[in-house]
Amino acid sequence: MTTIPAGLGHHAETFREDWLEGLADAYARTVRRVPDACGVISRHAPRPGKVAVVIGGGSGHYPAFAGLVGPGLADAAAIGDVFASPSAEQVYRTARAADGGAGILLACGNYAGDVMHFGLAARRLAAAGIDTRTVLITDDVASGPPPVDGRQIDPSRDRRGVAGDFFVFKAAGAAAERGDDLAGVTRIAAHANAMTRTFGAAFAGCTLPGAAEPLFTVNAGTTELGMGIHGEPGLRTTRNLTAAELADELVDNLLPELPDLPPSGDGRVAVLLNGLGRTKYEEMFVVYRQVNRRLREAGLRPYRPEVGEFVTSFDTAGVSLSLMVLDDELTGLYDAPCDTPAFRSLPGAHPAGSDDRTDAPAAAAVTAVTVVTAASDTHRATAAATGSTADRATAADLPATAALQAAFDLVAAHEAELGRLDAVAGDGDHGIGIVRGLRAAVAAARAAEPGPAGDPRSAGDPRSAGAALLTAGLALADASGGASGALYGALLTETGAVLARTASGTTTTDGTGPVCDTELFADAADAAQRAIGELGGARVGEKTMLDALDPFRRELRTRAGEELAKAWRAAAEAATRAAADTAELTPARGRAARMGTLGYGHPDAGAVSLALILTAIGDTLR
């Protein structure tokens, strides 16, 4: 972050809550907070009989997503931590708050964490009797081939969603506002997505709240063409470009990707030149001048063009260009009025020729000006170190809490390393996210683990540990967000469920009740691996946390007859070796999968963090 000094009390741990509260204060006329959730809802929602359009994604992208909530656009937005998806719990609570009884459309970018959490929320809504549909947005032409009709969208394979989100949200919101049913709103959202394409470029990276160093960088004097909004590497690197050259790159990469022009569209395209956070409006107008010229030369008619910030990447220096090919229906929906904190469209007709200049354009000026340079170091903020009692072990901790506390301590000590590993071919937030999640898991387990400390019946009872792990897993997924939050949350909850279920009604020969032994934990590890594989779709060998979990569970199963502490430590050593060996694998899942061989030679951050957790837990066993 480049504008708020640490002296103002700005801390990464509270950033999401702080800025959402400020937004609700500033725009109380338009939005309000969702009770007990990290989300905002239109002041006028829910509206009985109206389809609710619920959007969402990570912090750091404002105006997306909370700034696009209000009449005529989204009804509500669930918000995650910086560059992390909102958890399923937050999406569910936000959607329930917006439900007007006509069904809910969930819309988000095609990222692994968003897909998992929005998908889990959709299942919960359906189980609650609420008709729910989901549309994944796939406009970024730099991130992969276009989705194949009839095939389920896969975040490891298909294009991600970037600034074209805005067009999809706008069309869906307008359709819901005019009274379309859920099937109709879903059709419009999918149609808008199919007609939208985006290509971007970055000149300098971003620094997260409270961080002293950038999350990612762009080499001085260069431009990354096709870089993603979380710092995902681009298609190629070039020298710094002039404004006209940059506009040419944006247009040249989009024109071949555009869908066929519909006969009713007369060549109309909605145009969005989007700033990624640090690029000044005046600079973007210089770029748009050439964009407009090039589009018209190609026979296209820019319709209600917008230049500004719609989907940012914190303080990244860069721009993206989005085009939505219009037909008569999409044109009417794009024209429809809306009122949100970040975007307003007034009612009224938009006559033909309204986007054509009535004065003569000035002669071309000198364009040999670089658009953006890297930020100076004086703009970077640092945050004071903070701590809480939840971060510290206590003598009263029962086994599950003590194990999670040890895992938190060890992973927190390696937080920076995990972030560096994740940044090789991802967004670099794994260390931050898993530490945040484990902190919440420890607090939840400490509150939930039943039985008095020192009571051997509580200390060794799988039911006690199972209850704690079930609660801890939900807390971890909620606090961590992102794909890792969903997967690690599933790991804990599935383990807890097996312990609680297996122990129910069983007793030992001495009548003291069930005990945690190696065979029981081997069963739990098997179940956890199945759950994670089903949730994330990954398999062993695809450079994920499964590549550490699989050898752990196999070693534990082999040693099922041994004393737990000895067997666990041997299995943790196997996981540690396997995590190191992931350096020899090529990513096949998540954002890293799009980067091909870029991640080769570096261990997988998820596998490494899991090995650390398993090692730390082993050290607590006696």
Residue 538: phi and psi, rounded to 5, are -85, 160
Question: What is the DSSP code string of 52-111?
Answer: EEEEEEEETSTTTTGGGBSTTSBSEEEEEEETSPPPHHHHHHHHHHH--SS-EEEEEES-
| Residue that has been written with the tokens 């296209």 in this structure | 300
Residue 147 per-residue DSSP state? P
Distance CA 104, CA 50 (A): 9
Q: Which residues contact 602 (CB under 8 A, 6 or more apart)?
A: 421, 424, 425, 583
Q: Which residues contact 70 (CB under 8 A, 6 or more apart)?
A: 30, 31, 42, 43, 44, 338, 339, 340, 341
Strand partners, 104: 52, 132
Count CB-CB contacts under 10 A for residue 166.
29
Q: Which residues contact 2 (CB under 8 A, 6 or more apart)?
A: 207, 278, 315, 375, 379, 380, 381
Question: What is the DSSP code string of 159-215?
Answer: PPP-TTHHHHHHHHHHHHHTT--HHHHHHHHHHHHHTEEEEEEEEE----TT-SS-S
Annotated catalytic residue, options 230, 350, 379, 430: 230
C-beta separation of 86 from 34 below 8 A: no
Asked if 230 is an active-site residue, the reply is yes
**Burial class of residue 236, CB neighbours in 10 A (0-12, 13-18, 19+):** exposed
**Residues catalogued as catalytic:** 230
